[in-house]
Structure 1
C-alpha cells in the first residue's frame, strides 16, 4: 500500500471511526458458519469495551442499575451491580439465517457480579433475610440467544439488520458461588447455614432463579448488538 493510500484511509477512518474500527477483521459469506464465528470472536473486545461513536455502554465492566427477582417465594433486589467477564467471552456458534430473518448466537464466559442486595422470603426450602453486599460467581455460563431481525435501508439506501427482540436460554455448566454480607442481621450461624446451602445447591438455584437474574444484563447485550448491526451496512459485514 502506498503512503498516499494509507494516509487517505487513515483520514477516512478519523472521520468515519465507527465504520473503520468497529467492523470485523474479516468479511464472511453469510452461510459460512466458521468464518462468522471467527469474525464475531474478533469483535468481542471492541463490543465489551463500548463504542462511544455508537453510544453503546461498556459490557465489561457492565453497570446494571437494578436486578429484581420475585419468584417461588423469593424477593430479591440487587442495585448498582457491576458485571465482569464478558471481555473474555468465547463464541461457540453464530449464524445469520436470511430466510428466517434470525440470528442464532451461542457463547460462554465466566461471570462475576457484585452489588448491593436486599432479600426476603424463602430460598427454595430455607428462609432468607438480608440487606448488604453480594458477590455472585458463575463459572462457565453458557448463553444461547435467538434474535429475529428485519432488513431495512439506511440513509444511504444500503441494507442493515434491524434487530427486533431476543429470547435466551442459559446453563451454568461448571459451578456457581454465592456470598452475601449481613444475612439475618449478622447472625453468623444462620448466615453460614444459608451460605452452605446455596453453594451446595448452586445448580438448583441457577436453574430456578437464573432467568430473572440474567434478564437485565442480556437486555444490555442486545441493545449493543442492535446498535452495532444498525450502524453497519450488511454488505460490509458479510456477503449475502
Structure 2
C-alpha cells in the first residue's frame, strides 16, 4: 500500500513533530546588539520585499501580486454622499512597488513598528452600489477600477515568547495598521444600467468628492493590508525560531 501527501501536509507534519526552519535565504537576520539595528532591518527588509511578492510555498506565503481579496465594503453616510458599495473578487496591483521606509524595534518591550510607502495601487473588481449623491440616486453593477495613490502605512505589533522543543518562537498578541492615502480615482462601469451620460457625470462627481468616499474605502483597504501583514509574520514566526530572526 502506498501513501501520498502534498508538500503542505508534509511541512505541517514536520512542524508538528518539532521540526523548525531557518529564515529564507533572501531574508538576512540582524544582530540584537547592532547599534544600528533599525537600519539593518530596513536594509534587509527592502531586499526581501521583491522575493515575498512571488510567494514562498515552503513558508506558506501566498503570491501577493496581484493580491486577491474576496470583498471590500464602503458604507458612507454624509450630507453629500450616502453610499453602500461592495467591491467583490478584488485583485489589487501595485504591492510590488512597496518601499520599506523606517523601523522602530523595541525587543525588550516586545514591540515593533514598521513604516512603508506604496506609490500606487489599483483595485480591479466587480461592484454593486446604491445610495444617494446630493439629491441624485446612484445605482449600478459592473466592473470597477479604483486607484489609490501615495499610500503611507505604519504597521505595529506586539508578541510574547512561546517555547517549543527548547526554542523560542514569537506568538503575536496584537497588531495595528495605520493607513493614509493621497488621491483616489474611481471608474465604475455600467452605472444606471449603462446610461453613459448619467454614468459619466456620476463618475466625475465621485472623483471630485473622492475624500468623502475614501474615508470608508481607506480603512477597508487598510484592514486587508493588515490581514496580509499578520499572515506573513505569523507564518514565518511559527516556523522560524526567534534566535534565527534576531541573532544574539
TM over 0.5: yes
2:22 is equivalent to residue 19 of structure 1: yes
Structure with the higher fraction of residues in helix conformation: 1
* Aligned length in residues: 224
Number of the residue aligned with 1:41: 46
Work out whether residues 146 and 166 of structure 1, in 8 Å CA contact, stay in contact via their aligned partners in 2: yes
Number of the residue aligned with 1:76: 85
Work out whether residues 63 and 82 of structure 1, in 8 Å CA contact, stay in contact via their aligned partners in 2: yes
- Runs of 4+ off more than 4 Å: 123-126
Structure 1 gaps, min length 5 = 1-15
Number of the residue aligned with 1:225: 233
Work out whether residues 130 and 185 of structure 1, in 8 Å CA contact, stay in contact via their aligned partners in 2: yes
Work out whether residues 59 and 221 of structure 1, in 8 Å CA contact, stay in contact via their aligned partners in 2: no
Give the Å deviation of 1:95.
Answer: 2.6
2:154 is equivalent to residue 144 of structure 1: yes
Give the Å deviation of 1:154.
Answer: 3.4
Structure 2 gaps, min length 5 = 1-18
Give the Å deviation of 1:131.
Answer: 0.5
* Alpha-carbon distance in structure 2 between the residues aligned to 1:35 and 1:213: 29
Q: Secondary structure of 1:164's partner?
A: strand
Work out whether residues 126 and 194 of structure 1, in 8 Å CA contact, stay in contact via their aligned partners in 2: no
The alignment yields a C-alpha RMSD, in angstroms, of 2.5
Give the Å deviation of 1:120.
Answer: 1.1
Work out whether residues 179 and 195 of structure 1, in 8 Å CA contact, stay in contact via their aligned partners in 2: yes
Q: Secondary structure of 1:189's partner?
A: helix
